[in-house]
Amino acid sequence: MPTPTRVTMRATNRHSSLWFAIWAMLVAYGWTGDLAHAAEVDPRRPAAIATENVPPVPPELFDQLNRYENVRTATFSGWAPDGQGMLVATRFGNSTQLHRVYEPGGRREQITFFEEPVSGRFISKATDGAMLVSMSRGGDENFQLYLLDRDQAEVTLLTDGKSRNLLGPVRDDGLQMIVESNRRNGRDTDIYLANPRRAESMEMIYQVDGQYWSVEDWSADGTRLLMNRYVSINESYPALFQVDSRSLEPLPAAAEGKVSYGSLAFAADGKSAYLTSDARGEFLQLASFDFANRQFGWLVDDLPWDVEELEVDHESGRLAFTVNEDGASALYLWEDGQRRRLDTPLGVVAGLEFSPDGQQLGFTLARPDAPADAYSLAIADGRLTRWTYSEVGGLDPRGFVSPSRIQFKSFDGRLIPAYYFRPASATKETPAPVLIQIHGGPESQYRPIFSGTSQFYLAELGIAVICPNVRGSSGYGKTYLQLDNAERREESVKDIGALLDWIAEQPELDAKRVAVIGGSYGGYMVLASLVHFGDRLRAGIDIVGIANFITFLERTSPYRQDLRRAEYGDERDAKMRAVFERINPATNAEKIRSALLVAHGTNDPRVPFFEAQQIAERVRSGLASRLPGKPQETGRDVWTVYANNEGHGFAKKDNRDYLAAVQAMFLREHLK
C-alpha cells in the first residue's frame, strides 16, 4: 500500500503491500438477468445477486457465520495536518468509509457517508480539514476524485466523472496534486497536474503513448517528480521529471540487462533519492542515487528479502522502510548512515507516514490472529501504540489460529513455501479436510493476515487451510518470480500437485477430502488444478477467475492489456496462442469432474464477466470446445453466484456475507 504522502489510491505492483485490500476478502459477484434454471428463492440473497443451482442457505448457517463476518478492520490513511489524530478507513455500514480518530483508543468520527467504498486523505497543510476522496461505482474501477470541504459540508467532483483517475502525490504545501488519468483515449494513462480545490483544473504535463508511467514522489520544493516506467514485474525505468519545463530525464541504469525498480522517494534535501532495485541480485535492495554525480550507493544489500515501502520525513531526513521476510514485515529506520530494526508483532506493515512533528510513524498492522488496525510507533524509544481496536464480532480472539510456515518439495526438487492453518480438531484419529487457498496476481504473494472466513472454516467446520506461494509468486527473488512465465505457466499448477502429495503425508490431514479456492489469477489456478488433479480434489471455488487467456487478454480493459501480455504472453503471437489453447481451462472443461462454484461481478474491468459465463456453461454441458474430435459427456452440476453491483472483488458487505455463506455451504456439502 503506497504511503498517503505519495501514491495513495492508485494501482500498484508487487513492490507495494496492498495485500489486505487484495485478499481482504478475494471474492466476487455477477449478473441479475433472468436465468433459465433459477435457484429457489432465498430470502437472504441480496437483490443484486442472481444464482443458479445454489440452494437456499440454511438460516442456522447464516447465524453461525454472522460473528465471523462482522469482524472489522481499520487501515491507517494518514495523519491530520494539525497533528490532532489520524484518518482511518473502516466499515460500519455496507461499505468502507473514512473516519477520524483523535487519540489512541478514542472514538471514531465518521467523515464520509457514501454507498460505495471510498479511500482518501487530508490535503497537506490544510487548516480547514479539507480532504481528497477517491471512489468508483459498482466496482468498475473508473475512480473519480472529489474534494470534501468539511467547513461548507460540500462534495465537489474534481475529475470528468467517466474516465479512470488515480491520485498520485500531493505537493507538501497542498496547492497541487498529480492525477494519473486515461481520459484522453481510455487506454493510455497520462500524467496531469491539478488544483485539489478546483474542479476540472487538470492540465496534462506528460503524454504517455503505449507506455505505463507512474509518479512515485514529489520533491519537497515542488519542482521535480520521481517517475517510473513499468514494463513488467522484472523490468522498469525510473526518471526525474522537471515540473516547470515538463522535461523527463531517465536515471542511468543501475546494471546491465533488465532491472526492476520498486519504491522511489526523494531524500529530504532533494539532492538524492532513495530507491529499491534488484540490480545487485535476486531481491529488491535499498540504494540511494545522487543527482549531482549520477551515482548509485547501496545502503542495504545484505538482506535476502525484498525491501518494499519507503517513507522519508522531510524535516529530520529519517527514512523508514519495510522488508518482506517470507510474507511477514520487518520495519526499519535509517538515520545517520545506520539502520535500526523496530519491534513489531508478526504480520504485515503498510502505509507508512511520519507524523507532522516527525516524532511518530503511523501505519497499518495486519496480523494473522487479529484484524488489521492503525498503529503508531514512537521514533525516540520504539514504543508501539494501537490507535484502533477493531471489533471481532463477539468472538474470543484467544481461539484464533495462527499459521505455521511450511515448505514442500515440488516436481523439480524446488521447495515451495506455504502457510498452514491447522484446526484444533485435526488429529491422526480424526484427520481434517483441507482447503487450499491460492492467491491472485500472479505477481503477488500470500501474506499472513487475518481472515474471519478462514477462522470460521477452522473453528466451525474443522477444515485446515493451506496458503501456498507457488512459483511465480513475488517475495522470493526474481528467478522464482519468472518460473511460471509464458509457456511455463502450468509448472505453477504442478506445485499444487506437489502440495497434494505433502497433504497425503500428514497424518492429521485427510487427503481424500481436499478443495481449492482462488480469486483472479488464483481462479485460473483453481480451474487448472481441477483439470489436472480432479481425481484428488473434491471441489473448487473459482472467484473472478481467468478461464481462457485468449478471451481474457482480448477483453480486459485496454489500459491493462499490454501489462498483462508482458506477464502471461501475447495471444496475438501464433506460438503463444497455441500454448494458451492447450492450457486454457475452458478448452479442457470436459476434464473437470469435481464440484465447482463460480462467482463473478458483471462490472469487472480486469477479468471480464465472460470468463465466468464460458467456464460455467462448458463444465455444465460437459463440452471442452467446439473443435472436432473432442468428446461430449454428460453435464455437471455447477453453482454460480453473480452480482450486478460489484467488480473485481467483494466490496459490499451484504454481497460478501451471502457469498461467504454459499461457500461454507458448498464446502460443508462436498467435504462432508
pLDDT band at 29 (very low <50, low <70, confident <90, very high): very low
Nearest to 213 by CA among 253, 258, 168: 168
pLDDT band at 442 (very low <50, low <70, confident <90, very high): confident
Largest CA distance in the chain: 73
What's the CA angle centered on 528, arms 524 and 533, to 5 degrees? 145
Position 613 pLDDT exceeds 60: yes
> What residues contact 94, with CB distance under 8 A and at least 6 apart?
115, 652, 653, 654
Residue 104 corresponds to which amino acid?
A: P
**What pLDDT does residue 367 have?**
92
pLDDT tens string 352-407: 999 999 999 999 999 988 899 999 999 999 999 999 999 888 888 889 999 999 99
What grid cell was written down for 540?
Answer: 473448487
CB 264 within 8 A of CB 250: no
pLDDT band at 487 (very low <50, low <70, confident <90, very high): confident
Nearest to 467 by CA among 434, 437, 505: 437
**What pLDDT does residue 623 have?**
55
Listing from the earlier edge strand, what are the strands of the sheet with 285-290? 261-266, 272-277, 285-290, 295-300
- What percent of the chain is predicted at pLDDT more than 90? 77
**Taking the C-alpha atoms of 659, 141, 311 and 261 in order, what is their torsion angle to the nearest 10 degrees?**
100
CB 286 within 8 A of CB 297: no
Q: Mean pLDDT over residues 106-121, rounded?
A: 92
What grid cell was written down for 9?
Answer: 489510491
Tell me if the pTM is above 0.85: yes
Determine what percent of the chain falls in helix, strand and coil, rounding each to the nearest 5: 20, 35, 45
Residue 211 corresponds to which amino acid?
A: Q
Position 101 pLDDT exceeds 90: yes
Number of H helices, E strands in the chain: 11, 37
**What pLDDT does residue 635 have?**
52
Place of cell 478443495: 515
